[in-house]
């Protein structure tokens, strides 16, 4: 079975541009998570969805960040406008109803904002 | 509030040595889950183990073993006879079950280097 799929794997953009990160969870998983990893702050949860509904978005840094999950097999994390401090690795993870709290991570998207 | 502390920032060992990675957690919940993840140099996060708060049995999987002690709020990870391929950053994480949240809180990680 395919794991969590993220695209793009690398993104380099200029400050002020819009960035969209994409995630396809493991088929059959009903919870989806977006994390950000930086040297300074480590791994931190941005937002998570359960059955396509946002449950906890307390980690979303500010209004420039938004996330959607239009269906069970796709989610986006959008940053508009992007800033250099958004440079990080963004991970998507998913978990199943049968094994809640057991999250499987995608390969991550390395974002560089210049 | 939940918190995970991995006091060891970096550890360096020689191949075949045993190494223990420490993890101490804080939570007010009586029901919670503890995890270990491995992040090799390639960058992906690999799930290693999940433990729930009601199961204090130690677990062994090949060269890996985990020691969960509620009395000291610790969930330590030991690699026996380490190998170069074990070189990675290892993260301990906590998820509180009460309230239905699935949020994972991670420690800062311990970078393990196994030298040949």
pLDDT of residue B98: 72
Q: Which residues on B lie below 8 Å from A56 (Cβ)?
A: 101, 103
Q: Find all residues with CB under 8 Å of B84, minimum gap 6, and list them.
A: B15, B114, B115, B116
Query: How is residue A77 written in tokens?
Result: 């994390």
Residue A87 has pLDDT above 70, yes or no: yes
DSSP per-residue string spanning chain A:
----EEE-SEEEE-TT--EEEEEEPPTT--EEEEEEEETTTEEEEEEEEETTEEEE-TT--STTEEEEEEETTEEEEEESS--GGG-EEEEEEEE-STTTT--EE---EEEEE-
pLDDT tens series, chain B, 116 aa:
789 999 999 999 999 999 999 999 999 988 999 999 999 999 999 999 999 898 888 888 899 999 999 999 999 999 999 999 999 999 999 998 776 778 899 999 999 999 99
pLDDT of residue A114: 96
Decide if B97 and A33 are in contact by the 8 Å CB cutoff. Answer: no
Residue A106 has pLDDT above 90, yes or no: yes
Query: How is residue A110 written in tokens?
Result: 């390395």
Q: Which residues on A lie below 8 Å from B104 (Cβ)?
A: 33, 35, 45, 101, 103
How far apart CA B84 and CA B107 sit, in angstroms, is 23
pLDDT of residue B102: 82
pLDDT of residue B26: 96
How far apart CA A90 and CA A78 sit, in angstroms, is 11
């Amino acid at each position: 079975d395919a794991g969590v799929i993220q695209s793009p794997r690398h993104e380099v953009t200029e400050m002020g541009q819009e960035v969209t990160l994409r995630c396809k969870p493991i088929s059959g998983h009903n919870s989806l998570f977006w994390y950000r990893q930086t040297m300074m702050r480590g791994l931190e949860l941005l937002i998570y969805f359960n059955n396509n509904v946002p449950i906890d978005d307390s980690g979303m840094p500010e209004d420039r960040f938004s996330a959607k999950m239009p269906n069970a097999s796709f989610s986006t994390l959008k940053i508009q406008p992007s800033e250099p401090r958004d440079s990080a690795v963004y991970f998507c993870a998913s978990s199943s109803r049968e094994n809640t709290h057991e999250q499987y991570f995608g390969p991550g998207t390395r974002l560089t904002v210049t | 509030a939940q918190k995970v502390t991995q006091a060891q920032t970096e550890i360096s060992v020689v191949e075949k040595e045993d190494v223990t990675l420490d993890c101490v957690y804080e939570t007010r919940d009586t029901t919670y889950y503890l995890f270990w993840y491995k992040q090799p140099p390639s960058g992906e996060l690999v799930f290693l183990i999940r433990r729930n708060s009601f199961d204090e049995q130690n677990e062994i999987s090949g060269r890996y073993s985990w020691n969960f002690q509620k009395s000291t709020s610790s969930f330590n990870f030991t690699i026996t006879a380490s190998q170069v391929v074990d070189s990675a950053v290892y993260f301990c994480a906590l998820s509180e079950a009460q309230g239905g949240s699935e949020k994972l809180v991670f420690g800062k990680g311990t970078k393990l280097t196994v030298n040949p």
